[in-house]
């Protein structure tokens, strides 16, 4: 599985490359700037890109903008964003494009190697990997629609947004899968969202709705 890696700090970039290679990934390109990232993504069209938000030359949202431009040219290109902070604007921009695997993790999560590698694989497979802190920020921005949900439904929604399956949610909450399915149906009814059989699309729809 080929990866394009974008990180301006050389030591962190080398460390991430080493982690990914030890997990069986192939580093197709390792870059340190936004323009180089866009060029690498268009040239290699990797199975997944691991991208720092803030890259040279502007050190603002250069990494994310390069990734989004690449997704416009290569629809569905899987992108896992790493950020130092929970930056809601960047998360909303990423989630607005509902095609292909997406992820947004805080850099602190990289220290949990198993969780990081799982997130990369999940995004490469077309799934979603959202940091719980990012989800919490997005959910609290939801306004009145969120107030319709019960505490349990809100808990289920957060777990859905992390990319968890119904069975995983049931195990986490110590309830039956049937109970989880009922909660999910209630969530979509209360948020005026059509139920989809695609878990990833359901998550993206919920998060996009909450961030209007």
- The CATH number linked to 102 is 3.40.50.2300
Q: Which domain-ending residue is among 130, 159, 192?
A: 130
Domain-located, residue 135: no
Domain-located, residue 137: no
Give 212's pLDDT tier (boundaries 50, 70, 90).
very low
More confident call, 128 vs 6: 6
**Rounded to whole angstroms, how far apart are CA atoms 73 and 67?**
10
Shared domain for 152 and 186, answered yes or no, is yes
pLDDT at residue 140, as a whole number:
54
List the domain range (segments joined by +) for residue 21.
2-130
171 Cβ neighbours under 8 A, 6+ residues apart: none
pLDDT at residue 198, as a whole number:
46
Distance of CA 26 to the CA centre of its chain: 21
160-169 burial code (b ≥16 CB/10 A, e <16): bbbbbebeeb
Per-residue pLDDT averaged across 28-48, rounded? 97
User: How far is CA 154 from each of CA 2, 22, 59, 146, rounded to the nearest angstrom?
Assistant: 36, 37, 35, 8
pLDDT at residue 103, as a whole number:
86
Shared domain for 112 and 8, answered yes or no, is yes
Domain-located, residue 136: no
* pLDDT score of 210 more than 60: no
More confident call, 135 vs 30: 30
pLDDT at residue 20, as a whole number:
96
Shared domain for 102 and 146, answered yes or no, is no
* CA 136-142-143 angle, 5° bins: 130
pLDDT tens sequence across 49-104:
999 988 998 888 889 889 889 988 998 899 999 988 766 666 666 666 656 788 88
* pLDDT score of 45 more than 80: yes
Per-residue pLDDT averaged across 111-127, rounded? 89
């Amino acid at each position: 599985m080929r990866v394009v890696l974008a990180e301006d700090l050389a030591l962190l970039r080398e460390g991430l490359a080493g982690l990914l290679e030890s997990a069986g990934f192939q580093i197709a390109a390792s870059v340190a700037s936004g323009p180089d990232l866009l060029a690498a993504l268009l040239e290699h069209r990797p199975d997944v890109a691991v991208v720092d938000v803030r890259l040279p030359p502007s050190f603002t949202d250069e990494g994310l903008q390069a990734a989004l431009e690449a997704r416009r040219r290569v629809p569905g290109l899987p992108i896992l964003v790493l950020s130092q902070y929970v930056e809601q604007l960047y998360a909303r921009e990423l989630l607005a494009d509902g095609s292909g695997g997406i992820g947004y993790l805080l850099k602190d999560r990289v220290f949990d190697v198993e969780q990081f590698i799982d997130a990369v694989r999940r995004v490469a497979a077309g799934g979603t990997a959202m940091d719980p802190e990012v989800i919490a920020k997005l959910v609290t921005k939801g306004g009145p629609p969120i107030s319709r949900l019960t505490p349990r439904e809100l808990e289920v929604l957060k777990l859905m947004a992390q990319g968890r399956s119904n069975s995983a949610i049931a195990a986490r909450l110590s309830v039956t899968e049937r109970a989880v399915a009922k909660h999910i149906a209630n969530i979509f009814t209360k948020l005026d969202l059509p139920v989809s059989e695609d878990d990833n699309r359901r998550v993206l729809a919920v998060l996009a709705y909450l961030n209007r």
